[in-house]
Amino acid sequence: MKKFLNRLGFGVALEDAPQLVEATSRDVNGAELSVAYFSGRNGGDFYEIIRVAPHRLLFGLLDIAGKRTDSRPILSAAQSTFRAAGAELFARSELNEAEAMVELSRRLNLEIMRAAGGVHSCPAFAGCYNEELGTVCYVNAGHTPGLLCDHQSMEELPATGLPLGLFSLAPTDARIVGLGPDSCLAVVSRGVVEAQCQKEEFGLDGVKHVLRSKPPSAAELSRGILEQVQSFMCAYPKHNDVTALGLRRAD
């Protein structure tokens, strides 16, 4: 059974078996951004999508180490910081997006360590989509690589720094990539790449396979990744939280 929600937030499991939940932001000029995940989550995955300026959309996928019940205070603190700091740092019409992204990472890092009372690992991928330029300024703090795909090539977006929550002064760089017409960006949680069947992992290759099929929308991209994970495992994934974020620029 699939449950589709046209809102942002956390899904609620209505049955014992995990359900594929889709939460889509449609307020994107010239592009689509969608998140899909399986309900009944026990790990530390969480995502955020917020409009921070008339032409900027800020998104993030974070994976706080540990069980959700134990890490909930850290998750809540990180989520509040992402929203408040993101709205503050990216609101100006003229700004250096890379500097703002690095500062957002710094604040998230310190808040995670404060809420945890010390070291607590949190891989994170955060990006700002600029609708006017068709660019994404991003940081990858020890997270699963993002994947950028167009008609001719596929590029991995590797880590630009260490996971958040490990060192108070850990440096993080920001990069900017362009999305041409009909390009897609996919970011998936560790639970996606670590999904196993007979000791074989789904891996980034499984995500690339979905991207190469040229999903016609961001919703079909994020949903398609999770459907392939479920098909690969021949079961609902219960090994970890499983989340996929897709961004697709229109023609």
pLDDT for res 25: 64
In this model, does residue 35 exceed pLDDT 60?
yes
Q: Give the residue-averaged pLDDT of 71-95.
A: 93
- What structural domains and CATH numbers belong to the chain? 2-249 (3.60.40.10)
pLDDT for res 71: 87
Provide long-range contacts, Cβ within 8 A and 24+ apart, for 15-21. 16/40, 17/236, 18/236, 18/237, 18/238, 20/223, 20/226, 20/227, 20/230
In this model, does residue 8 exceed pLDDT 50?
no
In this model, does residue 5 exceed pLDDT 50?
no
pLDDT for res 17: 60
Assign 58 a pLDDT band (cuts: 50, 70, 90): very high
Assign 39 a pLDDT band (cuts: 50, 70, 90): confident
Distances (CA, A) of 209 to 140, 173, 220, 224: 22, 29, 14, 10
**117 vs 152, which has greater pLDDT?**
117
Q: Give the residue-averaged pLDDT of 180-197.
A: 91
Q: Give the residue-averaged pLDDT of 223-249.
A: 87
pLDDT for res 1: 31
Q: Give the residue-averaged pLDDT of 107-128.
A: 96
Percent of the chain with pLDDT over 70: 90
Assign 223 a pLDDT band (cuts: 50, 70, 90): very high
Minimum mean pLDDT range among 50-54, 188-192, 194-198, 219-223: 194-198
> What's the mean per-residue pLDDT of the chain?
87
Q: What pTM did the predictor assign?
A: 0.89
In this model, does residue 114 exceed pLDDT 80?
yes
Q: Give the residue-averaged pLDDT of 95-110.
A: 97
In this model, does residue 95 exceed pLDDT 90?
yes
